[in-house]
Amino acid sequence: MEQLVKVQKGNPDGTAQVLCIRESACSGDCHKCSGCGAATETLVLTARNPVGAKEGDLVVIQSASGPVLAAAAMVYMVPLVLFIGGYLLGENLWGAGPLAGGIAFLLSIVSAVLYDRLVAKKKKAEYTIIRIRKRG
Protein backbone atom coordinates (compact mmCIF):
# COMPACT_ATOMS: atom_id res chain seq x y z
CA MET A 1 0.00 0.00 0.00
CA GLU A 2 1.27 3.45 -0.86
CA GLN A 3 0.47 6.83 0.69
CA LEU A 4 1.47 10.41 0.04
CA VAL A 5 2.90 12.05 3.18
CA LYS A 6 5.04 15.00 4.24
CA VAL A 7 8.45 14.62 5.90
CA GLN A 8 8.50 16.33 9.28
CA LYS A 9 12.09 15.55 10.23
CA GLY A 10 15.00 13.48 8.95
CA ASN A 11 16.89 11.34 11.45
CA PRO A 12 20.62 10.54 11.33
CA ASP A 13 19.90 6.78 11.54
CA GLY A 14 18.46 6.68 8.00
CA THR A 15 14.84 7.12 8.99
CA ALA A 16 12.47 10.05 8.85
CA GLN A 17 9.40 11.17 10.75
CA VAL A 18 6.49 11.69 8.37
CA LEU A 19 3.06 13.22 8.86
CA CYS A 20 0.19 11.11 7.60
CA ILE A 21 -3.30 12.60 7.54
CA ARG A 22 -5.96 9.93 8.03
CA GLU A 23 -9.44 10.87 6.88
CA SER A 24 -12.69 9.04 7.38
CA ALA A 25 -13.97 6.72 4.66
CA CYS A 26 -16.35 9.41 3.45
CA SER A 27 -13.36 11.77 2.90
CA GLY A 28 -14.86 14.47 5.09
CA ASP A 29 -17.01 16.13 2.41
CA CYS A 30 -19.90 16.47 4.82
CA HIS A 31 -21.27 19.62 3.20
CA LYS A 32 -22.14 17.50 0.16
CA CYS A 33 -24.33 15.05 2.04
CA SER A 34 -25.07 16.88 5.33
CA GLY A 35 -23.27 14.08 7.11
CA CYS A 36 -21.55 13.55 10.39
CA GLY A 37 -18.72 16.08 10.26
CA ALA A 38 -16.04 13.39 10.44
CA ALA A 39 -12.73 14.61 11.80
CA THR A 40 -9.30 13.97 10.36
CA GLU A 41 -6.44 12.56 12.39
CA THR A 42 -2.75 13.33 11.91
CA LEU A 43 -0.34 10.50 12.62
CA VAL A 44 3.42 10.77 13.03
CA LEU A 45 5.09 7.67 11.59
CA THR A 46 8.72 6.61 11.35
CA ALA A 47 9.77 5.44 7.89
CA ARG A 48 13.04 4.15 6.45
CA ASN A 49 14.53 6.83 4.23
CA PRO A 50 16.71 5.27 1.51
CA VAL A 51 15.99 8.14 -0.93
CA GLY A 52 17.38 10.88 1.35
CA ALA A 53 14.17 12.86 1.76
CA LYS A 54 14.48 16.05 3.80
CA GLU A 55 12.17 18.10 5.99
CA GLY A 56 9.22 19.51 4.04
CA ASP A 57 9.46 17.03 1.14
CA LEU A 58 6.27 15.43 -0.12
CA VAL A 59 7.05 11.71 -0.42
CA VAL A 60 5.40 8.40 -1.17
CA ILE A 61 5.69 5.75 1.55
CA GLN A 62 5.00 2.07 1.13
CA SER A 63 3.94 -0.55 3.65
CA ALA A 64 3.41 -4.27 3.30
CA SER A 65 -0.06 -5.33 2.16
CA GLY A 66 0.16 -8.82 3.67
CA PRO A 67 -0.84 -7.94 7.25
CA VAL A 68 -3.80 -5.89 6.02
CA LEU A 69 -5.04 -8.71 3.80
CA ALA A 70 -4.61 -11.26 6.61
CA ALA A 71 -6.64 -9.08 8.97
CA ALA A 72 -9.36 -8.61 6.36
CA ALA A 73 -9.57 -12.36 5.83
CA MET A 74 -9.75 -12.96 9.57
CA VAL A 75 -12.56 -10.44 10.03
CA TYR A 76 -14.62 -11.14 6.90
CA MET A 77 -13.88 -14.58 5.45
CA VAL A 78 -13.29 -16.77 8.51
CA PRO A 79 -16.66 -15.99 10.18
CA LEU A 80 -18.52 -16.63 6.94
CA VAL A 81 -16.74 -19.91 6.22
CA LEU A 82 -17.15 -21.15 9.81
CA PHE A 83 -20.83 -20.21 9.90
CA ILE A 84 -21.58 -22.04 6.65
CA GLY A 85 -19.43 -25.02 7.66
CA GLY A 86 -21.00 -25.17 11.12
CA TYR A 87 -24.49 -24.89 9.67
CA LEU A 88 -23.95 -27.67 7.14
CA LEU A 89 -22.20 -29.95 9.62
CA GLY A 90 -24.81 -29.34 12.32
CA GLU A 91 -27.68 -29.90 9.89
CA ASN A 92 -26.25 -33.18 8.61
CA LEU A 93 -25.19 -34.62 12.00
CA TRP A 94 -27.76 -33.35 14.49
CA GLY A 95 -30.48 -31.59 12.51
CA ALA A 96 -29.59 -28.34 14.25
CA GLY A 97 -27.92 -26.31 11.50
CA PRO A 98 -28.78 -22.79 12.74
CA LEU A 99 -27.56 -23.55 16.27
CA ALA A 100 -24.31 -25.12 15.08
CA GLY A 101 -23.77 -22.28 12.59
CA GLY A 102 -24.32 -19.70 15.33
CA ILE A 103 -21.86 -21.42 17.66
CA ALA A 104 -19.26 -21.65 14.87
CA PHE A 105 -19.79 -17.95 14.11
CA LEU A 106 -19.27 -17.00 17.77
CA LEU A 107 -16.07 -19.08 17.83
CA SER A 108 -14.86 -17.18 14.76
CA ILE A 109 -15.49 -13.86 16.52
CA VAL A 110 -13.47 -15.05 19.52
CA SER A 111 -10.65 -16.12 17.19
CA ALA A 112 -10.72 -12.69 15.48
CA VAL A 113 -10.38 -10.96 18.86
CA LEU A 114 -7.48 -13.23 19.84
CA TYR A 115 -5.82 -12.59 16.46
CA ASP A 116 -6.18 -8.83 16.99
CA ARG A 117 -4.48 -9.08 20.39
CA LEU A 118 -1.66 -11.16 18.90
CA VAL A 119 -1.08 -8.62 16.12
CA ALA A 120 -1.14 -5.73 18.61
CA LYS A 121 1.71 -7.35 20.57
CA LYS A 122 3.85 -7.83 17.46
CA LYS A 123 5.99 -5.20 15.85
CA LYS A 124 4.07 -2.40 14.20
CA ALA A 125 3.94 -1.88 10.45
CA GLU A 126 7.16 -0.83 8.74
CA TYR A 127 7.11 2.02 6.25
CA THR A 128 9.66 2.89 3.57
CA ILE A 129 9.94 6.10 1.58
CA ILE A 130 10.08 4.92 -2.02
CA ARG A 131 10.21 8.24 -3.88
CA ILE A 132 10.16 12.00 -3.47
CA ARG A 133 7.11 13.57 -5.10
CA LYS A 134 7.97 17.23 -4.49
CA ARG A 135 10.88 18.95 -2.78
CA GLY A 136 9.82 21.21 0.07
Residue 37 belongs to domain with CATH number: 2.40.50.140
> In sequence order, what are the beta bridge partners of 15?
48
Q: pTM of the predicted model, to two decimals? A: 0.57
If asked whether residues 76 and 58 sit together in one domain, one would say no
- Rounded to an integer, what distance in angstroms lies between the CA atom of residue 1 and that of residue 68? 9
- Rounded to an integer, what distance in angstroms lies between the CA atom of residue 77 and that of residue 108? 10
If asked whether residues 35 and 87 sit together in one domain, one would say no
Residue 31 is predicted with a pLDDT of: 58
The total domain count for the chain is: 2
According to DSSP, the β-strands at 41-48 and 15-22 are antiparallel
User: Quick one: 112 exposed, middle or buried, by C-beta within 10 A (0-12, 13-18, 19+)?
Assistant: middle
If asked whether residues 25 and 48 sit together in one domain, one would say yes
If asked whether residues 9 and 56 sit together in one domain, one would say yes
If asked whether residues 79 and 93 sit together in one domain, one would say yes
> In sequence order, what are the beta bridge partners of 46?
17
Write out residues in the chain with pLDDT < 70, as ranges.
23-39, 123-124, 136
If asked whether residues 72 and 114 sit together in one domain, one would say yes
- Rounded to an integer, what distance in angstroms lies between the CA atom of residue 2 and that of residue 125? 13
If asked whether residues 87 and 54 sit together in one domain, one would say no
If asked whether residues 79 and 92 sit together in one domain, one would say yes
If asked whether residues 10 and 59 sit together in one domain, one would say yes
If asked whether residues 72 and 86 sit together in one domain, one would say yes
If asked whether residues 48 and 8 sit together in one domain, one would say yes
Looking at beta carbons, which pairs linking 79-85 to residues 24 or more positions away fall under 8 Å? 79/105, 79/108, 79/109, 79/112, 82/107, 82/108, 83/108
Residue 75 is predicted with a pLDDT of: 84
Which residues form the domain of 99? 66-121
Residue 102 is predicted with a pLDDT of: 92
If asked whether residues 109 and 129 sit together in one domain, one would say no
